[in-house]
Amino acid sequence: MKFREWAKTLLFYEIALGMKATLSHLLHYKPITLQYPHEKKQLPSNYRGMLALLRYDDGTEKCVGCDLCEAACPSRVIRVVSAEVPGEPTKRYSKEYYMDMTRCLFCGLCVKACPVDALGMTQEYEWAVYDKRQLHLNKEQLLAIGDRNFPVREKRLEFQHPNVAYFNVGFKEIPQKEL
Amino acid sequence: MDTGIRLALTLSQIGVVMVAVLLTVAALTLLERKVLGWMQDRMGPMEVGPYGILQPVADGLKLFFKEDIIPAGANKFMFSMAPVLSLVPALIGFAVIPFGPDWTVDVGGVNFKPFVITDINVGILYILAFASIGAYGIILGGWSSNSKYSLLGGLRSAAQLISYELNVGLSIVGVLLLSSSLSLVTITNAQAGGFWNWYFFGGGGFPQAVAFIVFIISAVAETNRTPFDLPEAESELVAGFFTEYSGMRFAFFFLAEYGNMILVSCVATVLFFGGWHAPFEFLQGPESIHWVTGIFWFAFKVSSFLFLFFWLRATLPRLRYDQLMRFGWKVLLPIALANIVLTSIVAFLFPGS
C-alpha cells in the first residue's frame, strides 16, 4: 500500500487524473454559456416580470380605482388616486396611478388582489436604465406596457356575463357558464 | 561595407524575430482565454470579431489609450523602469534560440546564419542570466508602487524566482554534460537523426526525462504561471506586483509574462526535444526544404509546451507559500542534483556514446 502511494506520487498520478478531466472537457466541448444579448432564455409561462395595466377590448381601462393593489403591496410600490367617472356617478376609475419600480420585488400580490384583473405581469425583464427616476412609472406608461404585451384583450365584464353586475366583481370569482 | 551588410542583416533578423514573438504573444492572450474557456465548458471571448478573434487587437487598443497612473508616494524612476526591466530580458533571450537548420549563407562576403540571430558559445548561460534580471523588474515594480499588495507580491516573487532559478540551472546541467557545450546551436545539432537522439529519450547515453520534469516544473514557477502564480495571486493580493500599474506599463508586464512563457518553451524544446529536428529522419524531408520542416517542427513543439502551460492552468489550484518553498528546496533540488551525479557517472564511463 505504502509502495503504491509512493508510485502514485512519483508518477504524478493525481495530477494526471485532473489533467485527463480537463482534457476530456476540451475534447467533448459542449459549452453551457447562453450568449445573452444575442440569444435569450425561454421563460416559463408564469414568469413574473414587469407589471402592466390592462384594457378591455374597446380600449377602456379595466382599473376601477379600488386601492386594493396599494393595500396588498408589501413594499409600497403602488400609489392610486381614485375618482368618479365624470358623468357616471356609479363608476370609479383611477385618476392617477404610479408605480415606483425601484422598490418592486415582483411578488405578484397586487395582481392577485385586483378584483377586475386590471393588473398583469409581463415577460419583460430588460429594464436597466441609467437614471432610476425612469423607473417611476405613471399610468400612461403602465398602460403602454400592457398594450404592447397583451394584444388579446378581454371583453367588458357585462358583455361576457350579461346577468352579473358589471364592476367590482372579479371575473375569476364568477361561476363559469358551461358553453 | 561588411559591417554595414552585417548590421542590416542582423537588424532585419531581429525585426523578424521580434514581430514573430509579439504576434505569438497576441495570439497567446486570445488562445489562453479560449482554451481555458473550452476546458471549463465556457466559450471564452466571443464578442470582438467572429468567435472573438479580434480580442487581442481590442485589448491592445484599450491598454494603449488607458490613463497611465503613478500612485502617490511611488518611486517614480523605479516605477517606470520596472516594466522595461522585466520586458527586455524576456525578449532578449530569443537572440540565441536556433529555430531552423544551422546553415551559413554567404551574403556579399559576410557569413550569415539565417535561423539564429547570434550563436554565442554560452547561449544557455546568457538566457539564464537575463531571466534573473527579469526578476528585478518584478521585485522593483512591487517595491516602488508604495502599495502593500504590490510589496507582498514582489517579495513572494523574489523568494520564488531565486529558489526555482536554481532548479532550472541544475536540471539542465545533465544536458550540458552530455552535449559538452553551452551553445544552443551545438546542443540542437547533437540531437539530429530521430527522436531517440533527443536528450529527453536518452540521446547521449542517459535519458534526461527526470531532468525535463524538474525543468518544466521550475519553468512554470519561474514564469509565475498557475499553480505557482503566488506573486500575482488574484484572490489574495489583488494582482500582486502589478496591482498599481495601468495602461502601457501594465501591458509591458503582460508582454513580459507571455514572452517568458514562449522563451521557456523554446529552451525546453531546444534542450530536451531536439529543437527543429523532426522525430524521424524522413519527416524532415530533403536537405533543401529543411528550413520549412525545421521551422514547422520547432513551432509545433513550442506550441505543445504552450498548450501544456494552459492545460496546467485549467487543472491545478494555486500552491500554498510554504508548500511552494518546500517543494522547490526539498524535492526538486535533490532530484536535480541526483540527476547531475548519475549523468556525470554515465558520461564518464561511456564518453562520447
Q: How many residues does chain A have?
A: 179
Confidence of residue A172 (pLDDT cuts 50, 70, 90): low
> Is A121 contained in some domain?
yes
A161 pLDDT tier (thresholds 50, 70, 90): low
Predicted local confidence at residue A32, as pLDDT: 87
Q: Reply yes or no on whether the pLDDT at A130 is more than 90.
A: yes
Q: Is residue A31 part of a domain?
A: no
**Phi, psi of B226, deg, nearest 5:** -55, 140
Q: Check residue A52 and give its pLDDT.
A: 92
* Cβ contact A18–B46 (<8 Å): no
Contact between B309 and B228 under an 8 Å Cβ cutoff? The reply is no
Residue with cell 518546500: B326
Q: What is the mean pLDDT of residues B9-26?
A: 89
Give the Cα separation of B259 and B265 in Å (integer). Answer: 10
Domain boundaries, chain B: 2-349
Is the Cβ–Cβ distance between B308 and B216 less than 8 Å? yes
* B326 Cβ contact partners less than 8 Å away, ≥ 6 residues apart: none
Statement: residue A164 has pLDDT above 70: no
Summarised one tens digit per residue, pLDDT across range B28-60 is 989 988 988 888 888 888 888 888 888 888 888
Reply yes or no: is the peptide bond before residue B227 cis, omega within 30 of 0: yes
**What per-residue confidence (pLDDT) applies to A167?**
53
| pLDDT attached to residue A163 | 62
Q: Do A35 and B46 touch (CB under 8 A)?
A: yes
Q: Is residue A60 part of a domain?
A: yes
Set of chain A residues whose Cβ sits within 8 Å of the Cβ of B42: 31-33
- Is the CB of residue A45 less than 8 Å away from at least one CB of chain B? no
ipTM over 0.95: no
Tell whether the model's pLDDT for residue B138 goes beyond 90: no
Using the predicted structure, report yes or no on whether residue A173 has a pLDDT greater than 60.
Answer: no
Interface membership of B40 toward A (CB under 8 Å): yes
Closest residue to A26, CB basis, from B38, B43, B312: B38
The residue to which cell 514581430 is assigned: B19
**Chain B residues near residue A32 by CB distance under 8 angstroms:** 41-42
- What would the grid cell of residue B319 be? 500552491
Handedness of CA B186, B187, B193, B197 (dihedral sign): positive
- Whether B331 and chain A come into contact, CB under 8 Å, resolves to no
CB pair distance less than 8 Å for B315 and A30: no
Task: Using a CB–CB cutoff of 8 Å, tell me whether A10 touches chain B.
Answer: no
- Window from A58-72, A160-174, B314-328 with minimum mean pLDDT: A160-174
Burial of A38 (0-12, 13-18, 19+ CB in 10 A): exposed
Q: Do A31 and B311 touch (CB under 8 A)?
A: no
Answer whether residue A171 shows pLDDT above 70. Answer: no
In this prediction the pTM is 0.80
* Cα–chain center distance at B164: 14
Average pLDDT of span B294-314? 89
Task: Give the CA angle between residues A81, A84, A90 to the nearest 5°.
Answer: 135
Tell me the β-bridge partners of A84.
A92
Cell of A42: 425561454
Of A84-88, A92-96, B191-195, B233-237, which gets the smallest average pLDDT? B233-237
List all residues of chain B from 45 to 74 with a beta carbon under 8 Å from chain A.
Answer: 46
Cα B341 from Cα A25, distance rounded (Å): 41
Give the span between the Cα atoms of B99 and B115, in whole angstroms: 6
Spatial neighbors of B13 by CB under 8 A, at least 6 apart, are B114, B117
Domain of residue A67 covers 51-173
Is residue A20 a part of any domain in this protein? no
pLDDT > 70: percent of chain B: 98
**Measured distance CA(B53)–CA(B27) in Å, rounded:** 9
Give the mean pLDDT of chain B. 85
The verdict on residue A66 lying in a domain is yes
Task: Tell me if chain B has a CB within 8 Å of the CB of A33.
Answer: yes
| Among chain A residues, CA nearest to B312 | A19
Q: Could you give the CA distance from residue A121 to residue B48 in angstroms, rounded to a whole number?
A: 36
b (16+ CB within 10 A) / e for B69-101: ebbeebeeeebebbbebbbbbbbbbbbbbbbbb
Range of lowest pLDDT (A128-142, B35-49, B190-204, B268-282): B190-204
Has residue A94 been placed in a domain? yes
What is d(CA B138, CA B150) in angstroms, rounded to the nearest whole number? 9
Q: Do residue A26 and residue B46 have CB atoms under 8 angstroms apart? A: no
* Residue B325, pLDDT score: 87
C-alpha–C-alpha distance, residues B168 and B132, integer Å: 11
In this complex, do A19 and B315 lie within 8 Å of one another by their Cβ atoms?
Answer: yes
Q: Which of A6, A19, A22, A30 to mutate to test the interface with B (most CBs of B within 10 A)?
A: A22
Whether the predicted pLDDT of B210 surpasses 70: yes
- A112 in B contact zone (CB under 8 Å): no
pLDDT score for B8: 86
Cα distances (Å, whole numbers) of residue B338 to A60, B343, B353? 92, 8, 21
What average pLDDT does the segment A102-115 reach? 90
Lowest mean pLDDT among A23-32, B232-241, B254-263, B338-347: B232-241
Query: CA angle at residue B198 from B195 to B203, to 5 degrees?
Result: 110
Res A136: pLDDT: 92
Work out the percent of chain B whose per-residue pLDDT is above 90. Answer: 5
Asked if A75 contacts A103 with a C-beta cutoff of 8 angstroms, the reply is yes
The total number of structural domains in chain A stands at 1
A29 touches chain B (CB under 8 A): yes
Which residues of chain A are within 8 Å of residue B35 when distances are taken between CB atoms? 26
Please state the rounded mean pLDDT for residues B219-236: 79
User: Measured between alpha carbons, how far is B139 from B67 in angstroms, rounded to an integer?
Assistant: 23
pLDDT score recorded for residue B238: 74
Residue A84 domain flag: yes
Q: How far is CA B19 from CA B9, B85, B107, B257, B297, in A?
A: 15, 20, 23, 17, 20
Q: Which of A15, A30, A32 sits opposite B316 (nearest CB)?
A: A15
Instruction: Determine, for residues A32 and B41 on separate chains, whether the beta-carbon distance falls below 8 Å.
Output: yes
Distance CA B172, CA A149 (A): 71
Give the residue ranges of DSSP H helices in chain B.
2-39, 55-65, 76-92, 123-144, 148-171, 173-179, 184-189, 209-222, 234-237, 247-272, 290-315, 321-326, 333-349
CB nearest B41 (choices: A15, A18, A30): A30
The model's pLDDT over A89-100, given as tens digits with 9 standing for 90+, comes to: 778 888 899 999
Look at residue B186 in the predicted model and tell me its pLDDT: 85
Residue among B39, B42, B43 minimizing CB distance to A22: B39
Identify which of B39, B43, B312 has the shortest CB distance to residue A26.
B39
Distance from CA of A106 to the nearest CA of B (A): 31
pLDDT at A99: 92
Confirm whether A41 is domain-assigned.
no
Q: What is the CATH number of the domain that holds A107?
A: 3.30.70.3270
Nearest-Cα distance to chain A for B316, in Å, is 8
List B110's β-bridge partners, or say none. B107
Nearest CA among B118, B117, B116, B128 for reference residue B176: B128
Residues A29, B38: C-beta atoms closer than 8 Å? yes
